[in-house]
Structure 1
């Protein structure tokens, strides 16, 4: 009996050990802060110098910025494009563009890509950098990468060894405590723009509320609540959601307030491929921010690092005041988008045979300096390119926070698109102190509901 118990105990220990993925070696971790930045980006320039060496990012506001203002002047407003890519010269650069970008250039003569000098502007708080180095040998990946445990507030896997680890780096990115009012616009295949949503948004990454507190699998790492103020048919609605570091044990918790019912109710469907009414159904709930939510419906493969031309330092777009100047037929106004060459991690998600989703495959492009997903290509069950997403990064240089407002999605089958998170008409991107626990309670939705 003792022998049997010993064998069972040893087997159980092996199973538990198999569920937790070991961290990288101390030797590999030693690269952080030398050849790699503390969050795992390559410190050096690329071979031809078109991607410069990392020098710490942009931390000094340009002239004209007013402390505390939500509108941030473009520090590169005087620069001119190095080159312009369109359907005529597309083949020369196709390998450096996402499939969606290439398809738009091929399909529409009015679409072009203005490529500017590359600036590695991302800067993060020192405590995040310090913790990220420690996480390289400390963070544990659980349940085949679907959950994580034992990390400090920072990048959990600065030297990723799997696709799921890279995706967790995106999910736990530094986002600050944001309070913004924004518009979401849909543009149909005829080029007609329609306001889909106006909302007041509060978002928070609780992992960063206490930089010295270890973060565990049961903790909430992201929470958001939205109060819809327009159009009239949606005014007064509100939703709130919370994500934990182990979505298998604790799936996303979400609530909805409808003024007609005057009560808050659980809304478990605000996840995965449920159509998102905030985008007029143009995207799914897990298309928000290019990707959000649980990883469990896809197998994630770390394809590798690649030099890509992606939207970056998009201050002109991010802080645009008139959305109608952005929403041109077929595609967003090209001259509002700044493109730069950067190194990105390419991660491919393939739908599990046992899972259901409208996408069969998702190809993600994660910026090496911030770990934020800046673009993705989404494919349907037949392998055809179906949708494509972009997030527009601009460094909030007064806060050491890289922001990705707005973000957008193209429907390449229907010929329409949505751009979500246009804040310029409402004073831009504002950062606030953390809300209280009471303000993140479900009842707070009803208390603040507009009737």
Structure 2
């Protein structure tokens, strides 16, 4: 059966390109069933055993969790192994990012990193694992790198050869088929005071729908509609985004409805270095979800893989009893609620292309081998100085299962302020089965929503 499938894929590719152009050979892809996990991570533990063997991840919810509840901590018995501080970070320097070192130096002793036992919890549905194998045999980056083809449902390159392939793995990673949730963001002042902005998010992922084929998804990765709930000055603002797979053939489409003008307008500049709305100019649009959009403004270098202390299994931050005031502190979030673990990450360095305008001259990304989620990044200015540091704190959402962020933040080291998104603790659990239809994410549908 497998040989027939591969043969069919080969025939299709010959018809399309004139030659078979697959990311890896069949022999290489077979590693996804042996020494590599279905996602492409190293299945074995590290030499010391501090990173354990992958045994399937957190594929089943804890026995005391019920569908519809906010995710609970599956490891309540875990205790901190040690705490990395400004005074002892030299002992762990080889496993710290430049961003973590800078945060420890600039904000210590209040900024510290509690390190816990490593739990390789990332897990996905079986049909997603099957698509990883199929994508490995067929996926291609377009000539200019602005899109991919011959891929569906999830990350295209489980055995990556380039930095660009790793970034596309993040952009196209599986996040469920659809999801609806409410969350707040904030940009605290230097003294820690803040005014949250509450948004309702609706995502629909045609690319990730079971049974989807490229011919039927109209070149769309996902549709996103956000509705601002508060404060009153912003309430009623609607943003609609159509994210595309081949961004040369069809760039991202975006619209914004402003309650003041009562008009839905195209937002052609909602991309790249444009300020992320409601971020007080502390984060660019392409930093949402740690990185998004066409990668054509940078050259991407795969630096290899490292063992590093990274944010992981952030169930304390996600706990429904936690309030925004428990999270937000002056300069950075409350590190008592964080959890860092030792994991293997892919390191990708992005260097701005000659002639391209962007506020970040160089960027470094640390990408989880078990999920293709960017866990940390560093953003440098034109003078080569580290300017901003970003973190993504993640959990496994049990309903799917899927490994995704619960909270993200970007720290501005110059302004000594930060942007935090994912203050969702006071709202219902994420709903991964809202029953959306693609027709609900058209511009005309957004106009109707705005009039209600």
TM-score scaled to structure 1, two decimals? 0.92
Which residues of 2 match residues 25-424 of structure 1 at below 5 A? 25-69=25-69, 71-108=70-107, 109-176=109-176, 177-195=178-196, 197-211=197-211, 213-214=213-214, 219-320=219-320, 321-424=322-425
Matches of 1:335 and 1:207 in 2, distance apart? Answer: 38
| Superimposed CA distance per residue, residues 174-231 of structure 1 (whole angstroms, 9 cap, x where no aligned partner) | 1121111111011122222232x11111112211113352469961012211000111
Q: Which runs of 5+ in 2 are unaligned?
A: 1-15
Matches of 2:204 and 2:303 in 1, distance apart? Answer: 30
Matches of 1:274 and 1:164 in 2, distance apart? Answer: 22
Matches of 1:289 and 1:125 in 2, distance apart? Answer: 22
RMSD: 2.0
Q: What secondary structure sits across from 1:292 in the alignment?
A: coil
Matches of 1:431 and 1:28 in 2, distance apart? Answer: 34
Matches of 1:417 and 1:132 in 2, distance apart? Answer: 36
Q: Answer yes or no: is the 8 Å Cα contact 2:180–2:434 preserved in 1.
A: no
Matches of 1:331 and 1:450 in 2, distance apart? Answer: 39
Moved over 4 A (4+): 16-22, 214-218
Matches of 1:357 and 1:21 in 2, distance apart? Answer: 33
Query: How many positions carry a matched residue from both structures?
Result: 434
Q: What secondary structure sits across from 1:428 in the alignment?
A: coil
Matches of 2:166 and 2:287 in 1, distance apart? Answer: 17
Structure 1 position 63, deviation (Å): 3.7
Structure 1 position 101, deviation (Å): 1.4
Matches of 1:180 and 1:19 in 2, distance apart? Answer: 44
Q: Answer yes or no: is the 8 Å Cα contact 1:217–1:245 preserved in 2.
A: no
Matches of 1:89 and 1:65 in 2, distance apart? Answer: 38
Matches of 2:367 and 2:45 in 1, distance apart? Answer: 18
Instruction: Return closer, same or farther for 1:127/1:145 CA change in 2, 3 Å cut-off.
Output: same
Q: Answer yes or no: is the 8 Å Cα contact 2:314–2:406 preserved in 1.
A: no
Q: What secondary structure sits across from 2:396 in the alignment?
A: strand
Structure 1 position 246, deviation (Å): 1.0
More displaced stretch, 306-315 vs 427-436: 427-436
Matches of 2:128 and 2:258 in 1, distance apart? Answer: 38
Q: Answer yes or no: is the 8 Å Cα contact 1:319–1:422 preserved in 2.
A: no
Structure 1 position 17, deviation (Å): 6.7
Structure 1 position 20, deviation (Å): 10
Q: Answer yes or no: is the 8 Å Cα contact 1:242–1:252 preserved in 2.
A: yes
Q: What secondary structure sits across from 2:382 in the alignment?
A: coil
TM-score scaled to structure 2, two decimals? 0.92
Q: Answer yes or no: is the 8 Å Cα contact 2:59–2:124 preserved in 1.
A: no
Q: Answer yes or no: is the 8 Å Cα contact 1:236–1:450 preserved in 2.
A: no
